[in-house]
Structure 1
Amino acid sequence: MTAMGVLAFEPNSQIKQDVIALGEYLQNPHFRIAVFAPFNYGKSTLLNAWLGARLLPMDLIPTTGAAIHVKYGEQIETHITLKDGTKIVKNGTNILQEYAILDNDRRMRSDVTAVEVYYPDPWLKTGVELIDLPGTDDREAQDNLVRDRLLTADLIIQVLDARKLMTLNERENLRDWLSDRGIKTVVFAINFLNLIPSEEQQEVNRRMRFVAESFRSELPNNVSNLYRVDALPALRAKLKGDSAALATNGLTTFVSAIEQITAIQQSEKSLRLPRLLAVVEPIKQALASKITTITTELTEAKEQYQAEIEVKQKAEKIIKQAFQRSLSELESWLYLPNLLSAYQSQLATALEQSKLDDWENQQLQPKLLEYQNAIAHWVNKASEFFDKKPPAELSITLPKPPEIPLPKSPNTPNKSSDVDLTPVAIATGLGWLLGGPVGAAIIGGATYLIDKNSESPVKPIVTDPELIKKAASEAAKNYLTTFSNEAFPPLKEYQQIVEKWLDFQPSLEPQNTSERYHNLQLLTTLSSNLERELEILSPKIS
């Protein structure tokens, strides 16, 4: 993946267009000379005079609506490439009127991607390529095209109009399109000086010289960056072969200087490094900015995550302590001595009155539920805070109703029918003797023998209230002992489950940062690779 891909610049962003143009520039084997200026400054006329032929469209109305590349060819030929890949090849240059000029709305054709004119000029054969650019200061599309193509040229010729001081747009273009992008091989050509009265030409020359000197062109020693060229008179003189006129209108001096610059810079290509660095610098800055942003985000995420961990650890401690406290309270309540102290008397009375169910529902069950809810409260708090599914609820069941042994009355005869009879009462109020036809029941505080078949009282077994009270108390003790013994094992098991479930184990890194770490590593690698590539390329293009 490239830095441009990772930085995800907009498709039409200037930096992306600059990178594309720079790539084309570095791969181009020709020495490109681009001529640019606002509309009606005589760019195409100057190139026609230079080549000595009316190759390029020129008119009083602005016409050039494409970047026309002029290259060497054995004959005059025009090649048009359309967006759909279609290539049109025609002899001569008349086809430019159809594909390379502005339409009636002063717009470029949107279906044209390349316009090339081939011309048999000996100087072009040396590897030189001329580019006639559309006029600027008209439409944004033309300006963008010019800006992109300037980056692909080795030498820039900016045509100035002697009738006007350099406009604000021209000065801004010098800075934004050329100087700030490392393009400093610039020559200024003053056109229309022949239209200025002779008494004013010296002042115009002085002002133009100031403009040229303010832009620090990087040209070979003793080569000026400012020349007078009266383009239309020069074209006429060139077509007539008038050498004297060519010297007067400045074309000869201008062409000689350009050829000298070209000959020197063609071999050195030293101008490419500043341009490369100027275009790469925003990419390096964007990479550094992105790296800083992600690093800051990761640092903040880690600090926030650490703060969250500390909060969760404190919450874990508080919840564990509260859970353990609630658990201890239930354990203390279930401790047999405490149960007997609190409930044995109540339960014995309930058993005597055959009201075990009422007592359980009104006394024992609500208290047990109160302790269970206190424990569940903290488990649910932990579940909400840590966003974890809680374990199954604590389940403690009540014992079965107790059996109450009934002591035999001393006066009860020992008949054969009840030799093996052991009188008992079930806490529900009615119990049957196992293995015999007679049962025993406590009814209204007295105990009776009952025939299983008739369910009618036979005779009382025990009538002493103290004996009945003692039997009920013993049954209550057995019931509470069973309750205590049966409650502790599930309680201990539940405690172990919850304590393990409550154990908070934070991850080393916050969630959702892996992608950012990956991007940071990728950006850092790309930044290092870019620096290394620049070190490798610098000797080759400097």
Structure 2
Amino acid sequence: MSQIENYKNLAVSLKFASNLLDLNSTSQLHQNVISICNYLINPNFRIAVFGPFNHGKSTLLNAMLGNRTLPIDLIPTTGAAITVKYGSDVRTRIMLIDGTEVYRSGTEILQQFAILDGNRQMRKDVASVEVFCPHPFLETGVEFVDLPGTNDREEQDNLVKEQLLGVDLVVQLLDARKLMTLGERENLRDWLLDRGIKTVIFVANFINLLEPDEQKQVQNRLLFVAESFRAKLPPGFSNLYRVDALPALRARLKGDVTAATSSGLVAFEAALQNTVGILQQNRGDVRLPRVEAIAAQIQQSLKAKIDPILSEIKSFDEKENSKIEIKQKAANLINQGFTNSSREIREWLSLPNLLAKYQADAAVALAENNFKSWQTNILKKDLTELQLGVVKWLYQAYSFFQAQRPEDLSISFPSEPQVTLPPRPGNSDDLSEPGSIAVGGGIGWLLGGPVGAAVVGSISYLLNKNIQQQDEKVANESYHQQVAKVCIAAIEDYFSDFSEQGLSILAGYEHKATKIIYFQVSQEPLEVSQKREQLQQLTNSFNQLQRELETAKISLNYQLYPEILKRSNTKREYFPQPEKVSTYSTKNPREQQRQENRTKNNHTNVEPPRQQVSPPPPPPKASPSARPAEVEAKFRNWELDEEIAQMKAEMRSPGFNTAKQQQTNQTKTAPKQPKTQVEKDKFARAYNILGLPINASLAEVKQAYRNLVKKWHPDLFISKSQQQKQAQDKMHLINEAYTILSEKYN
């Protein structure tokens, strides 16, 4: 990409950034940006003649051009910045603010548009004034700019300051009779040096009006001025020249070369043309310093707008992201608890487990005509506890997220099992069959006397032996064994229906839970969205300007702003990640045979009882790890409840901070120091019970408490009454110690 293209891109970025700052059109910075941008994209080399009014600026330019192109008078006349460009003939173009163009041959029209009026005021309707002149120096891509005089009116001074930013070389005209006044020194510093304009040549006028002795003194003073100002000119070229402007103009108009030379004009023109020729080849060294000065102001202004909004948006995002993070964690924790509870009831509802745990007692209750009472007091009680364990997590979710209100999990029981007795043999009092153990005091509801008691005993006997391996034929079975098998088969059918129906209801309930254990991230407030849009525009503009400055090899030591992420304006839904859970078939290996025989066992007219019924395996004996695992599950649910409650408290606290800030604050919280010896002893005893050193951290206290609960929970010793009593006493001390130390840290 060419240098001019780079400059064009830089100008576009500067203008765009300036527009975002909403600068007043009359402000100095806005005017400077317009000037510097026009300057950047102008391919010509611009030379401005600068100085107080009545110093002979227009006279000097006319002398260089060889005619009276520009208006000259004894009073301040130039009322506009007049740009002199190359043209095949002399003509003038005036551009008015309303867009009107006035194009005339010659320069007489300047008297109407480019000089001060009777009140020494500039015209308000003039946008630009251009004069085209057939001069060979201008044909090399050079433009002259005749500026209004300074130190006359503020309006003129502002125009001059604005124009100076858009020139490559400044010719500062000095009056030798009053050399370098205070105003000129201030202008040199404020209008040129401080704005990066250092390509300056001083030209002293009116030296011819001084006596010879005065001329020598002035010459020495001029050398001092030139040496004290470090101009950025090519090596070997002076920054100080003497030109008697009016004699030079007269000499040029007469064609007197000797007079033109003695006026200093020829030497100055030669030096000027050589200097310009070199500077044109290194235009970046001339233009970029003043661009840097303006760009620095723009970037500082952008940063002043960006940083407060960025801080506000960052704070908002941190709070929102922290809330989302807590809600996500809560959703996952609740889902974990719900999954564990669902898995527990699913395992309980599996047919093998139901038969293993309840079939014997249910069959006995059926034989004793006590099934309904057993179902209410045992089976329903266990089911209700498990259902509540599942439902509580959905109410936790509703409390936390306020989504859809959950329904209760309601698993109903099948109809009470019905049996039909097989035909009774002739010898009904035959109780000699091995394994027919009578239950003392048990009277069957189907049979009276000892036969009923024998049926109840046979149920226990049959369920505790492998019937499938029996070689006895039905004909050799005792009557009470046949009746016991009918009761066992009826209970198996009952639990099969209960398992199938319960698992189906549970599956539907788990599906509904997905609408409850989730939360939505709502749209952010319109005010925040608007600020985010504004911030994005500002940072994009800043970054683009920074890149263009780097391309132009201007370094302002600023870092690019990170990309501003735009938040979604639509509601977002968050679902917890589902855990993989074991599924249990509602059918066991005997299910197909059971389905085929169900009808036979549940109608009043029933075929003779089945020859072989495969009972479930006997209930497994609890392994040493089974009880700790159960305690571990209960304790984990308690931990989940506690953690969710803590997150609710954090979310609802007035001074809600980000999660990381909360964690930092908790970590830095110092424990309460005991004030009395009694308190010291109390804390020391609590640490000792938990097996911790004095002043252990809160995290260490919680971990020690977890470990001790898992070790001394009374449920671990449920079959050992004496050890259970010791565990209860130990847990009492552990809970008391944990309570004391928890209060110390709160």
Gaps of 5+ in 2: 1-12, 322-518, 555-746
- Secondary structure of the corresponding residue to residue 80 of structure 1: strand
Offset of residue 202 of structure 1? 2.2
Correspondent of 1:21 among 30, 35, 39: 35
SS of residue matched to 1:57: coil
| Match for residue 238 of structure 1 among 252, 260, 263 | 252
Equivalent runs, 1:183-262 vs 2, <5 Å: 183-262=197-276
Does residue 521 in structure 1 map to residue 507 in structure 2? no
Whole-Å separation in 2 of the counterparts to 1:170 and 1:301: 53
Distance (whole Å) between structure 2 residues aligned to residue 236 and residue 226 of structure 1 = 23
Q: Which residue of 2 aligns with 1:63?
A: 77
- Which residue pairs with 1:143 in the alignment? 157
Change in Cα spacing, 1:536 to 1:505, as seen in structure 2 (3 Å) is closer
Alignment correspondent of 2:144 = 130
Q: Distance in 1 between matches of 2:260 and 2:526?
A: 76
1:175, distance to aligned residue in structure 2 (A): 1.9
Distance in 1, matches of 2:547 and 2:155, equals 36
2:88 maps to which of 74, 79, 83 = 74
| 8 A Cα contact 1:34 1:132, kept in partner | yes
The residue number in structure 2 matching 1:178 is 192
Letter in 2 for 1:220: P
1:375-414 CA-to-partner distances (Å, cap 9, x unmatched) read xxxxxxxxxxxxxxxxxxxxxxxxxxxxxxxxxxxxxxxx
Q: Higher strand proportion, which one?
A: 1
Runs of 4+ in 1 over 6 A off after TM superposition: 299-306, 504-511
Q: CA deviation at 1:297?
A: 4.4
Once the two structures are TM-superposed, the CA of residue 300 in structure 1 deviates from its matched residue by 7.1
Aligned partner of residue 59 in structure 1, secondary structure: coil
Instruction: Give the 5 Å matches for 1:484-495.
Output: none
Give the Cα separation in 2 of the matches to 1:87 and 1:510. Answer: 51
- 1:520 is matched by which residue type in structure 2? L
Say if 1:296 and 1:214 are closer, same or farther in 2 by CA, change over 3 A.
Answer: farther
User: What is the one-letter code of the residue matched to 2:49?
Assistant: V
TM superposition shift of 1:507: 7.9
- CA positional deviation for 1:225: 0.8
Contact kept? 1:151, 1:183, Cα under 8 Å: yes
Instruction: Check 1:299–1:214 CA distance in 2 against 1; reply closer, same or farther (3 A cut).
Output: farther
1:187 counterpart letter in structure 2: I
1:263-282 correspondence runs (5 A): 263-270=277-284, 271-282=286-297
Q: How does 1:406-425 map to 2 (within 5 A)?
A: none
Residue number among 28, 32, 52 corresponding to 2:46 in the alignment = 32
**Partner Cα separation in structure 2 for residue 87 and residue 507 of structure 1:** 57
Separation in 1, partners of 2:316, 2:221: 59
Decide which of 285, 301, 304 is 1:289's aligned counterpart. Answer: 304
Q: What do the CA deviations read for 1:18-48 (whole angstroms, capped 9, x no partner)?
A: 1111111111121111111111000000001
Aligned to 2:550: 535
Find the aligned partners of 1:45 and 1:72 in 2 and give their Cα distance. 19
Find the counterpart in structure 1 of residue 423 from structure 2. Answer: none
The alpha-carbon deviation at position 299 of structure 1 amounts to: 6.3
CA deviations on 1:332-367 (whole Å, 9 max, x unpaired) are: xxxxxxxxxxxxxxxxxxxxxxxxxxxxxxxxxxxx
What TM-score results when the alignment is normalised by the length of structure 1? Answer: 0.60
In 1, Cα distance between equivalents of 2:69 and 2:289:
33
The 3-state SS of whatever aligns with 2:552 is: helix
1-structure distance, mates of 2:546, 2:104:
46
Alpha-carbon separation, structure 2, partners of 1:304 and 1:211: 62
Letter of the 1:82 counterpart: L
Residue of structure 2 equivalent to 1:94? 108
Distance 2:309 2:229 in 1: 40
Residue 508 and residue 170 in structure 1: after superposition, are their counterparts in 2 closer, same or farther (change >3 A)? Answer: same
What code does the residue aligned with 2:102 have? I
- Report if the CA contact (8 A) 1:183-1:274 is conserved: yes
Where in structure 2 are the equivalents of 1:438-517 lying within 5 Å? 512-517=527-532
Distance 1:507 1:139 in 2: 60
**Distance in 2 (alpha carbons) for counterparts of 1:27 and 1:201:** 43
> For 1:14 and 1:64, how far apart are their aligned partners in 2?
22
CA distance in 1, matches of 2:185, 2:258: 34
CA 61–300 in structure 1, closer or farther in 2 if over 3 Å, else same: same
Contact 1:301-1:510 within 8 A present in 2 as well: no
Shift of 1:514: 3.3
> Would you say the 8 A contact 1:302–1:510 is kept in 2?
no
Q: Distance in 1 between matches of 2:228 and 2:300?
A: 28
**Residues 305 and 510 of structure 1 are in contact (CA less than 8 Å); yes or no, is this contact kept in structure 2?**
no
Percent identity between the aligned chains?
56
Q: Which residue of 2 aligns with 1:414?
A: none
Deviation for aligned residue 1:220: 0.7
1:185 corresponds to which letter in structure 2? Answer: T
Is the partner of 1:163 in helix, strand or coil?
A: helix
CA contact (8 A) 1:302 1:509 kept: no
Q: For 1:158, which of 172, 178, 201 is the aligned residue?
A: 172
SS for the counterpart of 1:117 is strand
Q: Distance in 1 between matches of 2:151 and 2:315?
A: 48
Q: Aligned partners of 2:193 and 2:268: how far apart in 1?
A: 23
CA deviation after TM superposition for structure 1 residue 512, in Å: 3.8
Q: Which amino acid in 1 is paired with 2:177?
A: R
Secondary structure of 1:79's partner?
A: strand
Q: Secondary structure, in 3 states, of the residue corresponding to 1:538?
A: coil
CA distance in structure 2 between the aligned counterparts of 1:187 and 1:57, rounded to whole angstroms: 23
Q: How does 1:307-326 map to 2 (within 5 A)?
A: none
1:475 is matched with which residue?
A: none
Deviation at 1:533, TM superposition (A): 1.0
- Between the aligned partners of 2:51 and 2:158, the Cα distance in structure 1 is 13
Is contact 1:247–1:253 with CA below 8 Å preserved after alignment?
Answer: yes
Letter in 2 for 1:240: K
Q: Which residue identity does 1:68 align to in structure 2?
A: I
Q: Secondary structure at the match of 1:69?
A: strand
1:268 offset after TM fit, Å? 2.1
Size of the aligned set, in residue pairs, is 347
SS in 2 for 1:66: coil
> 1-side partners of 2:175 and 2:76: how far apart?
15
CA distance in 2, matches of 1:72, 1:517: 50
Root mean square deviation of aligned Cα: 2.9
Is 1:115 matched up with 2:162?
no
Tell me the residue number matched to 1:365.
Answer: none
How far off its partner does 1:509 sit? 7.6
Q: Distance in 2 between matches of 1:10 and 1:153?
A: 24
Task: In structure 2, give the amino acid aligned to 1:535.
Answer: E
| 1:211 to partner: Cα distance | 2.2
- Name the stretch that deviates more: 285-294 or 65-74: 285-294
